[in-house]
Structure 1
């Protein structure tokens, strides 16, 4: 078995997967509230040391473990994937329904056909029924949603909407300019960000969603702003160039293993014969 060939092939596969992640980050540079994804690359040696007592070999023999270790030593693998949840830049808009969160780890709650989800995208609007919703049509939920199952709705006369730093919404009194208190945005602060799962449309799924409690005094809501992506395009382009170069290096290593080394071995065997 040519371990160098398989090691290079595994390395190339890892770089292709890394390239997919980088390309997705670049595609979402201008997506409001998008968070950059990254991968962690490790080798078989480290994985072997972590799981050597549970190797699926007959009788868990030392010889079987040594064979696998020799065969696949230091073969690269993607051992983990993670999301960078740092805050992106703030952009001022002309929409007083827009809201941005200035602290890491905070999320709005929205209602989708698949259930309640989290999002950082605060580009909000009114739907045809006057409900506060995302641009994708998902209802933005109030802080008492799990008790009341209600939504945030505006009347046609609500032309002056204000949202304070804690997400409390105020609208003008009917026929006047005085502000009256309405519902409050549900600002969630999940305990474990690593449990957030991206599910498309810039949304996150979180286990135990109905156990989330609204953060009453977040002080993090900026009305009239949206949070931009935290992807650094220059860094991503640099990583893309680096990844492409690594793919080329692995390809050369595979070519050398299969052609040059095999040709030399065949010629030596032929001479001895």
Structure 2
């Protein structure tokens, strides 16, 4: 068995997966509230050490030794992926229906056909029914949505709409410029952001969403601002160049293993014959 060939092939596959992640980051460099994804590349031995207790054979048994397959001990592969939830740059829009969150780990809650989801994209609008929605048409949830099943709604008389740092919405009283409190946004703070799963449309799925509490005094809501993507385009381009070069290097190793070494072996065997 040409172990070098299989190790190089595994390394190339890992770099292809990394390239997919980098390309997705670059594609979303201008997506509001997008969070950068990254991969951790390890080897087979590291994966084995992390999961050895789950193997079907005893660690020191003959079956265990065969299961480990030492020939692949140094084959690189993607062992973990993670999302960087650091805050992106705040961009002033002066649009009263644009909102951002200035603290890490906080999210707006929205109602989708698949259930409650979280998002950092605060580019909202008001639909024809007067309901506050996302760009995809999902309803933005108020703090009391669980008990009342209500939405954040406005009427045609609401000429002034102001939102404070805690997500409290205030509109003008009828035939007046004075403001009165109405709905309040649900500002979610999951216990563990590592459990958030990207689901498309800039949404995150979270198991146990019903246990996530509303942060009533978050002090993080900014009206008239949007959070830009936290993807660093220069860093991503550098990583893309590095990944492409690694793919080329692995390709040369595979070519050397299959062509040069095989030809050399055939020639030597032919001479001996």
TM-score, normalization by structure 2:
0.96
- Judged with a 3 Å threshold, the aligned counterparts in structure 2 of structure 1 residues 59 and 229 are, in CA distance, closer, same or farther, namely closer
Q: 3-state DSSP class of the match of 1:41?
A: strand
**Aligned equivalent of 2:36:** 36
1:268 equivalent in alignment to 2:268: yes
Cα distance, 1:18 vs structure 2: 0.4
Q: Deviations over 1:70-99 (max 9, x none)?
A: 321200111100000000011111311111
| Offset from partner CA, 1:56-78 (integer Å, 9 cap, x none) | 46997336616744321200111
Write the distance in 1 (CA, Å) between the matches of 2:59 and 2:169.
66
Match of 2:118 in 1: 118
Aligned length: 273
The SS at the match of 1:24 is: helix
Distance 2:268 2:227 in 1: 65
CA distance in 2, matches of 1:91, 1:239: 26
Partner of 1:229: 229
User: For 2:230, what is the secondary structure of its paired residue?
Assistant: coil
Q: Does 1:133 align with 2:133?
A: yes
| CA spacing shift, 1:59–1:117, aligned 2, 3 Å | closer
Change (3 A) 1:238 1:147: same
CA distance in 2, matches of 1:143, 1:58: 52
| Secondary structure, aligned partner of 2:190 | coil
Q: Cα gap change, 1:265/1:187 in structure 2, threshold over 3 Å: closer, same or farther?
A: same
How far apart are the structure 1 equivalents of 2:269 and 2:73? 27
Q: Equivalent residues in 2 for 1:177-256 (5 A)? A: 177-256=177-256
- How far residue 55 of structure 1 moved from its aligned partner, in angstroms, is 3.9
Pick closer, same or farther for the CA change 1:13–1:118 going to 2, 3 Å. Answer: same
How far residue 224 of structure 1 moved from its aligned partner, in angstroms, is 0.3
| SS, match of residue 256 in structure 2 | helix
Residue in structure 2 matched with residue 108 of structure 1 by the alignment: 108
Q: Secondary structure at the match of 2:39?
A: strand
Structure 1 unaligned regions, length at least 5? none
Tell me what 1:147 maps to.
147
3-state SS, counterpart of residue 174 of structure 1: coil
> Gaps (5+ residues) in structure 2?
none
TM-superposed deviation, 1:252: 0.2
Give the equivalent residue in structure 2 for 1:62.
62
- Separation (CA, whole Å) in 1 of partners of 2:79 and 2:126: 43
The answer on whether the counterparts of 1:52 and 1:65 sit within 8 Å (CA) in structure 2 is no
- Contact 1:39 1:80 survives alignment (8 Å): yes
Alignment partner, residue 85 of structure 2:
85
The equivalent of 1:21 in structure 2 is 21
**CA spacing shift, 1:51–1:142, aligned 2, 3 Å:** closer
Q: Cα RMSD (Å) of the superposition?
A: 1.6
| Counterpart contact for 2:107–2:188, Cα < 8 Å | yes
Q: 1:10 to 1:125 in 2, by over 3 A?
A: same
Larger mean Cα displacement after TM superposition, 88-97 or 16-25: 88-97
